[in-house]
Chains A and B, each alone.
Chain A
């Protein structure tokens, strides 16, 4: 038998850090020297996934470019809760203009930096799902088409949470929002609508597209790092659960992100030049009920009797994702028992 060096720790590579592994194998977030790009005192709700996602992404990006980073923000929760005038939670240069124009503002910042010869300074644009898939989509498509040197990050919490949980083009089917009430024969958001923005981005053949969640920090940081190594238009789509809009316990934020991935509802992958190059395999596959039943926005599916037809429909969507991206492949690491 070939001997392999012991490379197995209590928590493998899944926890943020570990006293037993070298600094290089720990996440940016485990280090006391992280930027904390989004600082304490911000007014996000308890357990906000977006606040977490933004700090994860920007701190990792800061490490990748030696702190030479500027951020452009669309309107949305992230903008509102971080900068109630005159306070700011940002510890990096940060710019906000309008709801829909974050991509062209970022393009402008990038162009200005190029003109000034400051190509060492990198540009990140960020928006919620509303600012990305609905209001900013035309502008974003233009950024992709021109291949401007911007990393665009969408923090997807699947509705317009800041204004009171209205449906967006990223709201999943059957979810209750203020504009898709749980009434009638097919309650909640209708099936067959909405936009799959990572695939739309891939259709532009831009150099880098990836999805991630706040549940797998190592994966998220690695994707930011790879994106920062590339020049040109890059797109990162991060699932950030929202306790307010999803009707979930604040403590469940990361758990739900994990379940979204483990059920196949949210496929985690990366793509180069329009083609998928790698996927994060599901470690412990779960039925969609495990994900849906923890959120009050799906409470109308778990009545007595439950709306099994709707649950089955959502399961079919998850199964299709698993098949499309090969999320339960033969090369997935074997697991023993449920977690």
Chain B
């Protein structure tokens, strides 16, 4: 070929120069576990469903949500959202209002009548589930989806356990609860109400159940001995809440004292206010910082006019006068009596000092191991008796509905593995997506006008049914505040920032590939990834 003057070689592309050979570290796309997912007791893929909600595909978001949790409208109201507590965005401005979005999705599903995913073809196995609280319902749902027949036995007249008889209606409207329960029953769960299981072993043999799941909760209110006159009205908080749920509340009078510092105490006080008490006083023997009740619950109670006497115990109660002893905090942090007494007017005393599990159903001669008043479990949620699983408040747990739903799901997986005769290692979670892995420069601050509006909604939505939850506009805005920690959301940054064009963009959003022929391993892509979804891994040399 005739070449121009002074040209001795044909022009070639620099593609001939495989600069990938310079590399000592290679970038790889990873999925890390976002802190919200890591903190969710129900095991939800929160970042995953927020991703769908961000694009307005609410049904896809809801479908991913109910892969793990069949009660989103319930949880969107009563969950104490550890996800938000752990949210990385809190270190930037404020945590994403995950709970509000969950409620929005749950309510939208009820509105549109979206059905839960159907049951798998029958495996021929039968499972007895005792108790229809969140743990029992969660297990029943997941067992049905795995194809097992479920017989759900509930001692009370209404299903739902503490969600029905413990959590007041102002936090969880009963129609919402009933609809979400019905959706699970519609999967083919045989629900039997008003029958108490008294002997698990006999029941299992009589019904030819291949496995049993015990989710009997903690229904026994603890009592303490307080000197009280015969005419004194002393009730326990569970009976109060149960009575209210049945439409038959006990007479409390105008001045109600609640003794205890947990969420049940707060529920009881708020309920007393709603029953017409002018004074609802919580008496708690420690300080506010030691109170086990969730802060948001307490704040809501205080906003409603409930008052609290910290560092106090009830000494005696004579029907209209109550003697209260002042306490002080000792060096070890434990409360100590001071010997100083005060008196206050009271018409009734509500005890909210804890609950125990009624394990009389276990019957005679059972080999079930009980520790600290609850059932001991293996990691697959099995008790010491093969084929008998347990979960919820009757087992070691922090006793919230969300934990119980998670127990139900885990136990269903354990039962499924047990019935199939295989071991069931729970999947190891991915390494955490920590805040320091994010490049937050890329995340915009929320405009102030929007934030003020959101704050108001966030404050109100979870607790007060008078106020509606997030609107669609707010929900999508809130979802879009998600930083997508540890998981690619398709921002194209890696594709754009590579000085060597060594990131290939494939067809769909978030679908990239490294071209290791040319990647020099500089690591800019990993550093500029907003969500920390790229790791730099040493090359083997």
Contact = CB atoms under 8 A, between A and B. Distances in A.
B496 A30 contact: yes
Interface in A207-266: 217, 243, 249-255, 258
B440 to A, nearest CB: 5
A20 B54 CA distance: 8
B444 A29 contact: no
A28 to B, nearest CB: 9
Contact of A46 (B447, B484, B521, B526): B521
A86 B11 contact: yes
B17 A86 contact: no
Contacts of B227: none
B92 A339 contact: yes
Contact of B17 (A41, A243, A258): A41
B482 A10 contact: yes
Given A6-B477, A13-B444, A43-B19, A19 B11 contact: no
Interface string A22-40: 0000110110100010111
Contacts of A42: 14, 17, 19, 500
Nearest to B474: A6
A284 B521 CA distance: 29
Most interface-central of A12, A16, A39, A333 (chain B CB within 10 A): A16
B493 A88 contact: no
Main secondary structure of the interface of A (DSSP, over half): loop
A166 B55 CA distance: 51
Contacts of B517: 40
B52 to A, nearest CB: 12
B44 interface: no
Main secondary structure of the interface of B (DSSP, over half): loop
A163 interface: no
Interface stretch (B78-86, B197-205, B229-237, B502-510): B502-510
Interface of A: 1, 4, 6, 8-20, 26-27, 29-30, 32, 36, 38-44, 46-49, 51-52, 55, 82, 85-89, 217, 243, 249-255, 258, 283-284, 333-337, 339
Interchain residue pairs A-B with the least CB separation, the first 8: A12-B444, A251-B523, A17-B492, A41-B14, A16-B496, A47-B522, A30-B492, A29-B496
30 contacts: A6-B473, A11-B444, A12-B444, A15-B493, A16-B491, A16-B493, A17-B490, A17-B492, A19-B489, A19-B491, A19-B509, A29-B497, A39-B501, A40-B502, A41-B13, A42-B17, A42-B19, A46-B520, A47-B523, A52-B497, A86-B10, A89-B14, A249-B523, A250-B522, A251-B524, A251-B536, A255-B527, A335-B445, A336-B93, A339-B92
Interface of B: 9-19, 22, 54-55, 91-93, 440-450, 453, 473, 476-477, 480-484, 489-493, 495-502, 505, 509-510, 515, 517-518, 520-524, 526-528, 530, 536
